[in-house]
Structure 1
Amino acid sequence: MPKAVSYAQGAIIFFSGDRDDHIYIVQSGLILNQEVDIETGQQITEKLKPGEFFGVKSTLARMPHMVTAYAATDSVVIVMSLQEFEKLFANKRDVTEKMLRVFSKTLREIHHKMQSILHNDAVAIPQDVGMMMVAKAFYDDDEFFSCASVLTRLLEKMPDAGNKEAAEKLLADAKVKAEQDAHNKQTAVSSVDTSDDASLKQFSAPIFQRFTKEFKKGEVIVTEFEPGETFYLIKSGDVQIVKCITGQNKNLDILHKGEFFGEMAILDKSPRTATCVAHTDVSLLEFNKENFASLVLGNPHLVMNLLKLFCKRIYDQQRSIKIILIKEINVRICDVFLMYDERIVSPESELMNQRRTFNITVNDIAHWAGISVATAKEELNKLAAKDKIQLFDGYINIMNIRDMKRVVDSYYSNLSQKS
Structure 2
Amino acid sequence: MSEMEEVSFKLSRYKPETYIVIEGDKVSNEFYIIQEGSVRVFETVDPIIKGTKEGVLLRKGDFFGVVSCMSQRANMETAVANEESLLLVVNRENFGLLIQKSAPIAVKILRYFSKKLREYDSTLTKLTFKSQTEEDPNHLFEIAEFYYSKRMMEQAAYAYKKYLEYCPDGGYTTNAKMRLASIDPMIVLAEPELVEDKSIEKYHDGQVIFCEHEYGEKAYVILKGSVRITKFVNDNEVLLAVLKEGDVFGEMSILENRPRSATATAVGDVELLYIKKENFESMVHTRPEIGTKIIELLSDRIWAIYRQLANIVLKDPTARIYDALMIQIEKNRVQIKPKESFTINFTTEDLIKFLGYSMDEGKKYIKSILDSDKNITISPSGKIVIMDLEKLFKDVTFYKKKLLMDLKIQLSRKGN
User: TM-score, length-normalised on structure 1?
Assistant: 0.73
| 1:17 and 2:31 matched | no
Aligned partner of 1:268 in structure 2 is 256
Pair 231,341 (structure 1): closer, same or farther in 2 beyond 3 Å: same
Instruction: Name the CA distance, whole Å, in 2 between partners of 1:278 and 1:392.
Output: 35
Aligned partner of 1:62 in structure 2 is 72
| 1:277 and 2:265 matched | yes
- Choose the corresponding residue for 1:102, options 112, 135, 139: 112
Equivalent pair of 2:100/2:285 in contact (CA under 8 Å): no
Pair 288,164 (structure 1): closer, same or farther in 2 beyond 3 Å: farther
Pair 9,65 (structure 1): closer, same or farther in 2 beyond 3 Å: same
User: What does 1:79-94 correspond to in 2, within 5 Å?
Assistant: 79-94=89-104
Instruction: Name the CA distance, whole Å, in 2 between partners of 1:153 and 1:329.
Output: 43
| 1:228 and 2:238 matched | no
| 1:156 and 2:164 matched | no
- Choose the corresponding residue for 1:31, options 27, 34, 39: 39
Q: 1:32, CA displacement in angstroms?
A: 2.5
Q: 1:68, CA displacement in angstroms?
A: 1.0
Instruction: State the SS of the aligned residue for 2:23.
Output: coil
Aligned partner of 1:355 in structure 2 is 341
Q: Which amino acid aligns with 2:232?
A: C
Instruction: Name the CA distance, whole Å, in 1 between partners of 2:182 and 2:384.
Output: 39
Instruction: Name the CA distance, whole Å, in 1 between partners of 2:51 and 2:337.
Output: 31
Superposed CA offset, 1:39-76 (max 9, x none): 16632333333444321121112222221112233444
Pair 268,389 (structure 1): closer, same or farther in 2 beyond 3 Å: same
Equivalent pair of 2:24/2:75 in contact (CA under 8 Å): yes
Instruction: Name the CA distance, whole Å, in 2 between partners of 1:309 and 1:13.
Output: 25
Equivalent pair of 1:90/1:303 in contact (CA under 8 Å): no
Superposed CA offset, 1:210-230 (max 9, x none): 6322231x4432221222233
Equivalent pair of 1:34/1:69 in contact (CA under 8 Å): yes
Instruction: Name the CA distance, whole Å, in 1 between partners of 2:363 and 2:178.
Output: 36
Instruction: Name the CA distance, whole Å, in 2 between partners of 1:285 and 1:276.
Output: 14
User: What does 1:18-417 correspond to in 2, within 5 Å?
Assistant: 18-19=25-26, 20-36=28-44, 37-39=46-48, 42-117=52-127, 119-121=130-132, 124=134, 127-129=137-139, 132-133=142-143, 136=146, 147-159=152-164, 162=172, 207-208=197-198, 211-216=200-205, 218-296=206-284, 298-324=286-312, 331-343=319-331, 345=333, 351-353=337-339, 355-360=341-346, 365=351, 368-371=354-357, 387=374, 388-391=376-379, 396-401=384-389, 402-403=391-392, 406=395, 410=399
Pair 360,139 (structure 1): closer, same or farther in 2 beyond 3 Å: farther
Q: 1:124, CA displacement in angstroms?
A: 4.8
Aligned partner of 1:7 in structure 2 is 14
Instruction: Name the CA distance, whole Å, in 1 between partners of 2:163 and 2:300.
Output: 34
Equivalent pair of 2:41/2:79 in contact (CA under 8 Å): yes
Instruction: State the SS of the aligned residue for 1:224.
Output: coil
Aligned partner of 1:194 in structure 2 is none
Q: 1:18, CA displacement in angstroms?
A: 0.9
Pair 352,399 (structure 1): closer, same or farther in 2 beyond 3 Å: closer
Give the gaps of 5 or more residues in structure 1.
176-204
Instruction: State the SS of the aligned residue for 1:281.
Output: strand
Superposed CA offset, 1:149-181 (max 9, x none): 4322122223576287599889999x9xxxxxx
Q: What is the aligned residue count?
A: 378
Instruction: State the SS of the aligned residue for 1:237.
Output: strand
Q: Which amino acid aligns with 2:52?
A: Q
Superposed CA offset, 1:1-55 (max 9, x none): 7433343333222211112121123344433222341416632333333444321
Q: 1:246, CA displacement in angstroms?
A: 2.9
Instruction: Name the CA distance, whole Å, in 2 between partners of 1:25 and 1:74.
Output: 14
Instruction: Name the CA distance, whole Å, in 1 between partners of 2:148 and 2:361.
Output: 22
Instruction: Name the CA distance, whole Å, in 1 between partners of 2:276 and 2:325.
Output: 39
Equivalent pair of 1:243/1:250 in contact (CA under 8 Å): yes
Q: 1:272, CA displacement in angstroms?
A: 1.0
Instruction: Name the CA distance, whole Å, in 2 between partners of 1:131 and 1:394.
Output: 41
Give the gaps of 5 or more residues in structure 2.
1-7, 185-194, 411-416
Q: Percent identity?
A: 27
Q: Which amino acid aligns with 2:378?
A: Q
User: TM-score, length-normalised on structure 2?
Assistant: 0.73
Instruction: Name the CA distance, whole Å, in 2 between partners of 1:8 and 1:116.
Output: 40
Instruction: Name the CA distance, whole Å, in 2 between partners of 1:107 and 1:281.
Output: 28
Instruction: Name the CA distance, whole Å, in 1 between partners of 2:282 and 2:36.
Output: 35
Pair 372,124 (structure 1): closer, same or farther in 2 beyond 3 Å: same
